[in-house]
Structure 1
């Protein structure tokens, strides 16, 4: 492996601060090494690093595949917020597609309690003393998939957002935890964008859209930080905001036609810079 490739992988891995207690061998066949299987409590959630090869071997949202590490979402606030942010990102882009009349596409982004991103969260919610949002998630999926109409979809989405907010309790987290969660979400958006866009061509519109949703929710999370959370981190929060707003140029439309002038490198770079700000 070239020194450049190794350094690039180190930068990408640094963004995943939720990946704890892992063992890597940089000289293995894929440069990532193998993670040993260990017994883990019910609140341990797998997080994928396999997308360093542009999605080969798994997805950055925690999909099954090689390069998995584990983090305890019951105690890791940043990773917990990132996981809920990914769920919200899927929903955000699904609703946007629905509002623009792309009903079939919207259905593919509707999450259900049995889906991958929600699976395994129940013991985490129990450990954190929150109710979760399985009922509301199922209600929105049903409203969209069964085409129950705009009012039903809007009401279900509003109730779901309230339930997610109640479970997230972002206002109780530190600015550092919020920023790290944002860096993790943007890193995952980069993984998805790298799968969806190749040399300006849309090769997987679903992944392109996922990346859009994750980035928009990251922006929203940043804008909702409280005055207390911003104290002592105002400069880094403002710099993060500017980085995120610049990323919007990567998505000219939610369902684009033709060439897209964007590259995942912008997302990877932003994710690394945001994490470094948070850690400092």
Structure 2
């Protein structure tokens, strides 16, 4: 199966599930969120080390959108919460992959992931931080890179980056959070598609590991959403189920072969996007 065919599979899934998912997620677009909602970004997958940093969720409304064909967010992260959360989520995903690999002893693999948030993503995030009057994370990321390169204990510099990410998250709607998560999952699907051959052999471990990190980051984003709106709750629950399904494609970050499929991840991204647009 070629990459183009896999991409088309994801797009076909989006069309096929639209009516059903919208019906289940309040597709009228009228539900509002009452009370406060939070979004926690924990220190590592499954460790529950979140230190503050809730995303306050405003009333559900229309997303700013701004997504280009192929799933990448083209809007300006300085002003668009979906694009901004997408980049924050990718940063968090790289760090999740780094943290798990580093602690498992796969140091060389881990070092590749810790360098990417600053070298690849920070160029886009820095102007957004400035426009949003946020201090940025340059020092925290540098300290983490230095500690990891030295083979030192990375827990404190890692926790400092997580605290920084939490402090930089915006007040936004459940709809925007879901749309951002859908983009993170779609990016994970792209990475999985690059890293895994048609027969399931992993030809690019780094991209495969990125995909895992992005999915864990998405799951943790969703786990912190709090809302009393029934439509928003159902949409978030659906998205969480889709993330769990996508994660079934991963047994370990260092395996040589997987039974998973990029189409599973593309399908999850499509369903989550529909859920977000239905609010």
TM over 0.5: yes
Whether 1:93 and 2:92 are equivalent positions in the alignment is no
Alignment of 1:33-182 (within 5 A): 49=70, 70-111=74-115, 114-148=118-152, 150=153, 153-169=154-170, 172-182=171-181
> Closer, same or farther in 2 for the Cα pair 1:231/1:138, shift >3 Å?
farther
Q: Is residue 227 of structure 2 the alignment partner of residue 227 of structure 1?
A: yes
Deviation at 1:164, TM superposition (A): 0.7
For residue 114 of structure 1, report the CA deviation from its aligned partner. Answer: 4.7
Alignment gaps of 5+ in structure 1: 23-31, 33-48, 53-59, 61-68
Please tell me whether the aligned partners of residues 195 and 204 of structure 1 are also in contact (alpha carbons under 8 angstroms): yes
Instruction: Provide the rounded CA distance (Å) in 1 between the counterparts of 2:200 and 2:78.
Output: 39
Contact map agreement 1:87 1:111 (CA 8 A) in 2: no
Cα distance change, pair 144–203 in 1 and its aligned pair in 2 (3 A): same
TM-score with structure 2 setting the length: 0.74
Counterpart Cα distance in 1 of 2:177 and 2:209: 23
Partner of 1:243: 242
TM-score of the two chains, using structure 1 as the length reference: 0.74
Work out the CA distance in 2 between the residues paired with 1:205 and 1:7.
20
Which residue matches 2:26?
none
Distance in 2 between the 1:139 and 1:212 partners? 24
CA displacement at 1:121 relative to structure 2: 2.0
Q: CA-atom RMSD, angstroms?
A: 2.7
2 CA distance for matches of 1:116 and 1:188? 14
Does structure 2 retain, via aligned residues, the 8 Å contact 1:111–1:141? yes
CA deviations 1:187-231 (Å, max 9, x no partner) are: 000000000111210010000000000000000000011336x66
Distance 1:252 1:114, change over 3 A: closer
Distance in 2 (CA, whole Å) between partners of 1:252 and 1:6 is 21
What is the deviation of 1:9? Answer: 7.9
The answer (yes or no) to whether the contact 2:179–2:272 under 8 Å persists in 1 is yes
Cα offset, 1:115, TM superposition: 0.5
More relative contact order, 1 or 2 (CA 8 Å, 6+ apart): 2
